[in-house]
Each structure stands twice: as C-alpha cells, then as structure tokens.
Structure 1
Amino acid sequence: MSMALVFFTLILLLAVPCTGQNPPSAGYNPSSRFRTVGFDQAFRNLWGLQHQRIDQGTLTIWLDRSSGSGFKSLRPYQSGYFSAAIKLQTGYTAGVITSFYLSNNEAHPGDHDEIDIEFLGTTLGKPYTLQTNVYMRGSGDGRIIGREMKFNLWFDPTQDFHNYAILWTPTEIIFLVDDVPIRRYPRKTDATFPLRPMWVYGSIWDASSWATENGKYKADYHYQPFLGRYRNFRVSGCSANGSSGSCSPPSVSSSGSSGLSHQQAAAMAWVQQNHMVYNYCRDLSRDRTLTPECFARAL
C-alpha cells in the first residue's frame, strides 16, 4: 500500500466517529464514596416473590407469562444517592421493562412523583434503550407529563454488570452510568421538581403497549423467562423518617458541592452528543407550555 493511500485511509478513519468509544473520563468516581449494602438490608420483595431469588449477593428477578417481580426499599427518602449494578437479559426482550427508580406511588395513588431509570427491551440485533424520566403528580392515566431522555449506551449492558445511579437532592437530579453523568435535571421551580419523600424500587414487567418502538413490538413469551440481575446496591440518603435538619444530601462532585465539575460536565456533554437518542425538550410535537424548564439550558 502506498504512503498516499495510507494517509488517505487514516484521514477517513479520523473523520468517521467511533461509536465504540468510551466517554472521556469524568475525573471522579462518586460510587466509591458510598458503601454497598445487601438486598435484605435495604429492600424487601414487593410482588412476584416466586419470581425472585438471591444467590451469592446477586438478586435475580424475572418475567414470564404468569408474572413479573418487583422490590421496594424498607424506608422512604427525602434525598440521596441510589444505585445498583445491573445486568440485562440478552436476545429478544421487546416489550419488557427492567427498572430501578424512585417513586411515592403507594403513598400518593393517582398523584405521585417518580424518577426513573428504565431499560426498554429490544428486538434481535438492536441495542437496549436506557430511558431516564422525571415527573411530578402523575397518575398513569394519561395526565403524566413525562420528561424523558433516552440513550443507547456505549457498551452492551447484557454482557456484564454496570453501575446505574440516581442522585436526588433538593436542588438537582443527576443520572450516572458507571460514574459518568448522563443527565442533570436542576430544580427550576417547585412545580417542575419532585420534592415529596420517595421509596427506591426495582422491577421487571410487561409494558408491551409502549416499551419498544412505541408498542410496535410486543413481549414474546417464546423467549421467557426474561431476567434482570442486580447487585452492589448503594442506598445513601436522608431518610424521610429522620429528624429535620439531621442529614445533608450527598454530592457526586469531587468538591462535595452541588452540580458537576467541568470534567464531569464535559463527559456528560459527550454522552448526550454521541448516545442520546431522544430529548423531550427537542420534541416539536409536544406542548412546550407543559415543560417550562425546556426554555432554560443545563438540562
């Protein structure tokens, strides 16, 4: 091969984005600040007990034609850092949701708040979609004003465990994957930010009506059971049952302050530029008057 051809090929390679790249270093690993806890120390089964088992510290929950399964934290929190290492089912998983989230739906039925990490199942050969969402006072009957941001990750989440985290404080919500911030949702007004105590949940369930390409592909129980595996739980926050003023919300910044460092913000920008596939603020079909925070930056 001639030197000219080598040079031309190199230019082409540099010009084409590499989808297999890892994000730039965020410069700090906040998960190292929080100790792991066993499932029984922080959670209990909520439903589908027969579809749940613990083996050497790993919780497995599964969905088949008869049932899914879910779990819930032992106590509610006013703020905190909540994470789990999760490994997803490989193969056809369309219609199946594997989740880790905060909610107060049992305390406020028909009027609850939620902060979601949801893995939307997929068809063969297509990547999982990680959906983050924040909503306030939603009922699940069509009145929810979702604030979804969706990502195709820079790795295959079925091949190994990866750490997924939610930081929730009185001023911001930050979603992280393997200590890399992927989304920051700051508090702009009380009306657009969840402030009531919430519990930590995880679940696997059939959401065929909307989960995969807006319901185009349904759960196919020829592929059952669908498994979700969780371990290395971290639950560190201000308990809603504690005395007022006795707890300071955690931080994911190396300085201990709110927000992100410049390096963390740069890593988040890279993820959003290269791996974000949906942003509710950019969806022109939506009524922007319902999401006033979209008129501000730093989403």
Structure 2
Amino acid sequence: MEQKPPGANNQLLLMIMVVVACSVSGAGAQPSPGYYPSRRIRSMAFGEGYDNLWGAQHQTLSPDQTALTVWMDRSSGSGFKSKRSYRNGYFGASIKVPSGYTAGVNTAFYLSNNELYPGQHDEIDIELLGTVPGEPWTLQTNVYVHGTGDGAIIGREMRFHLWFDPTADFHHYAILWNPDHIVFLVDDVPVRRYPRAAHGHNFPDRQMWAYGSIWDASDWATDGGRFKSDYRYQPFVSRYTDLKIAGCEAAAPASCRPVQSSPSGDTGGLSAQQNAAMSWAQQRSMVYYYCQDYSRNHANYPEC
C-alpha cells in the first residue's frame, strides 16, 4: 500500500474544496469564505476613529462624516491616522480608487509605528497601485518587522491582480492582526495569511496605528517604476468609507480578547472554507510572492 506523506490528506481535502467552491460560484466568481468579519464590526464616523495627518487641503468629508475623499495632484497627496494605537485588531475600509491613467498613484491602508520607532518600525500594508489604461490594478500586501533604518528595509510582498475593477465601485479591504497571525482580506475573502513563526522574530508585536493615504510612488509602484505619475490627468481621487476598527488598544487590559478570525472563534487559524477561498484568490490572482523570488537573499526570510 502506498504511504502518503504527512499532510497529504489535508492538501487533498483543500484541493477538493477549491474545486467545489469554484464550481458552485462559477469559474470566475468569488467563492464564499463562509465567515464575514466585516459584518460583525460596526462602521464609524471618520472623526470617531481618525484625524487628518497631512494634506488637509486634499480631503473632504461627506455631510454625515462617514466617507472621506482624498486626492493627489502635483502639489500634494493626503493622509490620515487613527486617534489611538493598538496591539491587535481588525482594521477595514471600503475604498474606491481613481480610473484612467493612474500610474504611480498609491492608495494605501496600513498599520505602522514608524513615528514611535523611526528606522526600526513595524508595518502591515495594503496598497492599491495605479496603472495605465487597459492594465489591471495591483493589490500589494506587505509586512515589515523591525526595519533596519539604513534603507535596506526587509519587505515581504505578495501582490495580486484584482479579479474586479476597483475603480467601478467600493470594495472592502481589511487587515486582521492577531497575536498568532495576520490575515489580509478583500470583501472578507482571505487573500493572504502571514503566521507567526515558532521563533517569533518575523512577526510585528508592538503597538501600531492605522493609516490611510494617497501619494506619489512613481519610483516603484507601476511596473517597477517604468510608468510614472502624469499630472496631466490630475487630480487623482480616492474615496474611503465604511471605516471599521475593533481590537485591543495599546492601553487595554490583558483580558482584552483579539478579534476572532474564523467562525469557530479561533484567533490564530482559518476554517477550511476560508482556506479554500484563499487558495482560489492566490491561484487565480497572485502575481508575486517574495518567498518565490530567488533573486533575494532568503537568509533574511527564515519563514520561507
């Protein structure tokens, strides 16, 4: 009798679930993750959770204070920051990005402690990278842990060509950061799970703030910097709404519980259905994964 390697049955089950999910939802349709954390957390007014950080002249709030419009032109971009810092949590926003020629434009939603630990900061990024007409927008996810401070910050990028048009409507992008893992979600579909390794050195565990911004990243954002921002097409306008924050603030008592990441109540794992949806997203849309980039020094990435 042929002996299967450890984990083979789990891998087979996951493959079956991916096939089933895709067949049920349609070949190109987004599968259900079976768990929707965005629906469990209430939306907040902008001023309840955030303050302007820079470029106030490039921001407008909706009359009900729930939607923020930011734009970038030749003079400036714009950014905002959460009022409080957190040691874990769910951070989400529905975002609509500009259409047309948007090369070099970076619409970001991220966590960072750069202002507290300059040169040695942690960061968890969702970045929507502009494009040229006819080419897809790229979603970049990234994790920095204790930046080196000498310009050689070690990034851990995973990029996707989105399976929808992010300029046509709002979609919900979220970071779920718990003590055991980080999950990046798009419309509640996990697209990436970044677990804490056994040694823990590759995982951000210091307090961070949530940020949003639009800025000129011409040096690298579109095809490695081949296409730059073209201000003949200004202003570049992005919109944020449905802002959500839930989790443990930095000063919360030890009894504060992280937001669960699966329907079972687990904070460090995903359900089989969530894993199947994540596999669908990665197999269909992932275009870059740092662990598969052998031009990099993998000694910097023990988790690979």
Give the TM-score normalised by structure 1. 0.90
Letter in 1 for 2:60: R
**1:239 equivalent in structure 2:** 249
Amino acid at match of 1:267: A
Q: Is the Cα contact below 8 Å between 1:20 and 1:154 reproduced in 2? A: no
Q: Give the structure 2 partner of residue 30 of structure 1.
A: 37
Superposed displacement of residue 58, structure 1: 1.4
Partner in structure 1 of residue 113 of structure 2: 104
Paired residues of 1:104 and 1:112 also in contact (CA < 8 A) = yes
* Contact 1:89–1:158 under 8 Å retained in 2: yes
CA contact (8 A) 1:20 1:155 kept: no
Task: Give the conservation status (yes or no) of the 8 Å contact 2:189–2:277.
Answer: yes
% identical equivalent positions: 61
Pairing 1:51–2:61 present: no
Residue aligning to 1:279:
289
Equivalent residue, structure 2, for 1:226: 236
Name the structure 2 match of 1:215: 225
Written as runs of structure 1 = structure 2, the 5 A alignment for 1:1-299 is 21-56=28-63, 57-138=66-147, 141-188=150-197, 189-243=199-253, 245-257=254-266, 258-294=268-304
Paired residues of 2:118 and 2:149 also in contact (CA < 8 A): no
Provide structure 1 residue ranges, at least 5 long, that are not aligned to the other structure.
1-18, 295-299
Shift of the alpha carbon at 1:191?
1.3
Name whichever of 95-104 and 21-30 sits farther off. 21-30
Return closer, same or farther for 1:63/1:20 CA change in 2, 3 Å cut-off.
farther
**Residues 20 and 64 of structure 1: is their aligned pair in 2 closer, same or farther, counting only changes over 3 Å?**
farther
Report how far residue 141 of structure 1 moved: 4.7
The alpha carbon displacement at 1:160 in A equals 0.3
Change (3 A) 1:206 1:46: same
CA distance 1:135–1:26, change in 2 (3 Å): same
Residues 157 and 20 (structure 1 numbering): CA distance in 2 closer, same or farther, change over 3 Å? Answer: farther
Q: Quick one: structure 1 residues 269 and 250, their matched pair in 2 at CA, closer, same or farther if it must change by over 3 Å?
A: same
CA distance in 2, matches of 1:115, 1:179: 17
Q: In structure 2, how many angstroms separate the alpha carbons of the residues matched to 1:234 and 1:140?
A: 31
* Aligned equivalents of 1:283, 1:65: Cα separation in 2: 34
Deviation at 1:139, TM superposition (A): 5.3
| Cα deviation digits, residues 49-101 of structure 1 (max 9, x gap) | 00001114210011000010000000000000000000010011101100000
Kept in 1: contact 2:88–2:258 (CA 8 A): yes
CA contact (8 A) 1:166 1:175 kept: yes
- Paired residues of 1:109 and 1:139 also in contact (CA < 8 A): no
Conservation of the 8 A alpha-carbon contact between 2:112 and 2:123: yes
Secondary structure of the residue aligned to 1:192 is coil
Alpha-carbon distance in 1 for matches of 2:208, 2:35: 27
Distance in 2 between the 1:27 and 1:276 partners?
21
Q: Indicate the RMSD between aligned Cα atoms, in angstroms.
A: 1.4
- SS of aligned partner of 1:219: coil
Instruction: Give the Cα separation in 2 of the matches to 1:288 and 1:139.
Output: 16
Would you say the 8 A contact 1:176–1:182 is kept in 2?
yes
Which runs of 5 or more residues in structure 2 are unaligned?
1-25
AA partner of residue 37 (structure 1):
M
SS at match of 2:68: strand
Deviation at 1:142, TM superposition (A): 2.7
Q: 8 Å contact 1:85–1:232 — kept in the other structure?
A: yes
Alpha-carbon offset, residue 246 of structure 1: 2.9
User: How many residues of Structure 1 are paired with residues of Structure 2 in the alignment?
Assistant: 276
In structure 1, C-alpha distance between the alignment counterparts of 2:29 and 2:159, rounded to whole Å: 18
> For the Cα contact (< 8 Å) 1:93–1:226, is it kept in 2?
yes
Instruction: Name whichever of 136-145 and 217-226 sits farther off.
Output: 136-145
Runs of 4+ in 1 over 6 A off after TM superposition: none
Q: Is the 8 A contact 2:61 2:68 kept in 1?
A: yes
